[in-house]
Structure 1
Amino acid sequence: MPMFLWIDGQARIRALGRTLHKVLGEGVMIGDAFTRHFTIGRHEADLLRCPDATIPRCEFSNCSRKVGACGSSLRHLKERRSIHLTLQARPEIGLRGDVLSLPQAEGGGVLMNLSFGIYLSEVVASLDLTERDFAVADLAMEMLYLLETKSMVMGELSALTARLDHARQEAERLALTDALTRLSNRRAMERALAQALSGVTQGGAPFALMQIDLDHFKRVNDSYGHAAGDYVLQSVARILNETVRHGDLAGRMGGDEFLLLLRGPIEHKALEALAQRIIARLEEPKWFAGNECLISGSIGVVVSDDYAIHDLDAMQGDADVATYAAKEAGRGCVRFAQSAPR
């Protein structure tokens, strides 16, 4: 019984097990008062009244009338299903166990057989206890093995959950990304446009759409092959990413059609200047396998502030019309929707 505690009739420590001595520390002495090192109960000490303190035969007339003030009062703990003790020096550690009343011929008092209960793992870790500190029949080590196994399993489950969450996020990202250009794809752009429209209809920030159709792209594909065409599309994606502001969104809607979602208020002159910069970058020579790939861009622009009633289909339709007007004007230029003021 490495966790036993023998208390005599005067509520003083007569003996204790080696493990309990290790828990209490070197400060414990044989003969110390029980209450110097232990408190009975958790939050119920004030309810543990000693029955003997209310009758004339109680020899401790000046005691606190609580269980623990004398060895005789501790004998009443056997009537409880189990006892709970808290260490005075380490109140974060609780003990529980059984109480056995000793005969008066042996000096009265009680013998307690204690255990750490739910505090087992914390005590073992903090005091560096080993298997030798527990009784052979004690299930403490088996409990520690179970706790360690549970901890390992929970760790693996947590890691698996993190991997699954990462895989889910990556799958969602890929589902919203154009595989060739790494820009947002049509699905992602439609979602972003719906959010922008919802925001502006509720009094949020306005936005502009800039539709870009590449000029002469088919000639590059036909002359130098699809590998050259893919290279050109990737170059366009890089140009758009480098040109737009942080917070704006560039997407490939399919084929050689791109779309910019420009968030926040932007003046028409600033939008036109941005479109001209993009066109200039698009017209820069692009070399693939020794072949010069020349393209340009026709751009149509619509601005949400130009609409009294915000309708996404109408705005996208106007962007198509404006882009076609840019092509009709000779390509390599920008046109605003007809509803937009100049």
Structure 2
Amino acid sequence: MSSITSRTLLDTLCPMHLVLNKTGHLIHAGPSFIKILPRAEAIGRRFHDLFKLKRPQTDNSMRALLSLAGTKLHLKLRTGARTEMKAVLTPLHKGNCIGPAGGAVINLSFGISIVDAVRDYALTSADFAPTDLTVEMLYLIEAKSAAMSASRSLTTRLQGAKIAAEEQAFTDTLTGLKNRRAMDHVLARLMDQGTPFTVMNLDLDYFKAVNDAMGHAAGDYVLQKAAQIMVSHTRGEDMIIRTGGDEFVLIFPGLTKPERIEEIAASLIAELEEPIIYEGQSCQISGSIGAAISTDYCRTELSQLFEDADAALYAAKHAGRGCHRLHSSARGRRAPSS
């Protein structure tokens, strides 16, 4: 068998092998090694110029290297990514078809550094012998990577679906405002944080007349326009909740000044009284508002706060609608301010 045929056979069975002459110079390298160290940088170089022999340690002579035949060698490339490798050496005797007598064949592998090597040198399964267990490990790594990627993608989609479902569960579908379920969460958070707030109950006046005279489509449109007006009069941290057909609750975290509360209420009512045009017809509504401030109550009196905001709302309605009342902060038996 010719030396060319023998080396071709080695290139197939041991694509990471090296052939050294008797002086320790590299005269041939398998195709996978050439991907790691280009031929022009490898062929003709001394083995010890290319590799650092970590274990066992010897001098840099070819004689010492040949004495390690059959021993597992621990190597490290001196250039490039300085990848660590494992190797085994077989001396070449007179009459072989691979290289000159006195030389050696060294078969290399990456060992536990295989993952880094695949990344650093863009290796594929074609760079290893078909029977090499490394190929199986590469398949496992690829499968694990694909599985983890699919798992992350699924987790992201599930989290997105969960957030969307929670958002939908807390949202009034007609107006896009929050619903009563969301209000409970907001109030619990504000109470836990000790954040003072104002509750404003708002009912749309004359809404039933619009609904009865012009139909539910007109009523839905009016509700949506009213919701937009409320949003335009609130801050990002405020919450607007639709609690019933034409009933709303506005929560203002950190807002406790009566003057500012009454200013917001007056502004809301003024804009709600502007005619809303639906299909060329004018829909006339207004708003009645009752408010209460959380600083007037202890933690266990949350239900009382809402009762008093309701009482203030009914006082506004009884005063002729289209107006607002802020519940008195006087202790003892509270009464709506007139």
**TM-score (norm: length of structure 2):** 0.79
Q: Deviations over 1:209-237 (max 9, x none)?
A: 11111111111222222222111111111
Cα distance change of structure 1 residues 272 and 20 upon mapping to structure 2, 3 Å threshold:
same
Alignment match, 1:36:
49
C-alpha deviation, 1:16, in angstroms? 2.9
Partner of 1:323: 313
Q: Do residues 209 (structure 1) and 222 (structure 2) align?
A: no
Deviation track 1:274-331 (CA, whole Å, cap 9, x = no partner) reads 0001001111111223332211111111112223556311211111111111111111
% identical aligned pairs: 41
Counterpart in the other structure of 1:180? 174
* Aligned residue among 90, 93, 99 for 2:83: 93
Partner of 2:287: helix, strand, or coil?
Answer: strand
In the TM superposition, what are the counterparts of 1:126-137 in structure 2 within 5 Å? 127=121, 134-135=128-129, 137=131
Offset, 1:75: 5.1
Distance in 2 between residues matched to 1:308 and 1:149, nearest whole Å: 59
Tell me what 2:301 maps to: 311
1:16 equivalent in alignment to 2:29: yes
- Pair 1:249–1:2, CA change in 2 (3 A): same
The Cα of 1:89 is off from its aligned counterpart by: 0.8
1:54-73 superposed matches below 5 A: 66-67=57-58, 69-73=60-64
Question: Which shifted more, 241-250 or 281-290?
Answer: 281-290
Q: Secondary structure at the match of 1:86?
A: strand
Report whether the alignment pairs 1:193 with 2:187: yes
State which drifts further: 226-235 or 150-159.
150-159
Q: Which moves more between the two structures, 162-171 or 300-309?
A: 300-309
Distance 1:17 1:123 in 2: 16
Select which of 216, 230, 238 maps to 1:240.
230
> Residue 2 in 1 paired to residue 15 in 2?
yes
Against the structure 1 CA distance between its residues 272 and 116, is the aligned structure 2 distance closer, same or farther, given a 3 Å change threshold? same
1:239-270 CA-partner distances (Å, limit 9, x unpaired): 11111012111111122111111111441111
Unaligned runs of 5+ in 1: 50-65
More displaced 10-residue stretch of structure 1: 133-142 or 179-188: 133-142
From 105, 109, 116, the counterpart of 1:111: 105
Q: Are 1:250 and 2:240 counterparts?
A: yes
Check whether the contact 1:11–1:68 (CA below 8 A) recurs between aligned residues: no
Query: What letter corresponds to residue 16 of structure 1 in structure 2?
Result: A
Match for residue 289 of structure 2 among 293, 299, 303 = 299
In 2, the alpha carbon distance for the partners of 1:185 and 1:332 equals: 24
Identify which of 141, 155, 159 aligns with 1:161: 155
Give the Å deviation of 1:340. 5.7
Q: How far apart are 1:135 and its partner, in Å?
A: 4.1
Q: Distance in 1 between matches of 2:126 and 2:314?
A: 87
Contact conserved, 1:211 with 1:299, CA < 8 A, in 2? yes
CA distance in 2 between counterparts of 1:29 and 1:199 reads 72
Contact persistence 1:71–1:110 (CA under 8 A)? no
Aligned to 2:265, the other structure's residue is in SS state helix
What SS does the corresponding residue of 1:305 show, helix, strand or coil?
helix
Structure 1 residues 275 and 97 mapped into 2: Cα distance closer, same or farther (>3 Å)? same
Query: 1:185: how far off?
Result: 0.6
Q: Check the 8 A contact 2:26/2:42 in 1, yes or no.
A: no
Is the partner of 1:67 in helix, strand or coil? coil
> What CA distance in whole angstroms lies between the structure 2 residues aligned with 1:76 and 1:298?
100
SS of aligned partner of 2:41: coil
Query: Does the aligned pair in 1 maintain the 2:211–2:219 contact within 8 Å?
Result: yes
Contact 1:12/1:71 (8 A) holds in 2: no
Task: After TM superposition, give the deviation of residue 12 of structure 1 in Å.
Answer: 4.5
Whether 1:228 and 2:222 are equivalent positions in the alignment is no
Unaligned runs of 5+ in 2: 1-13, 332-336
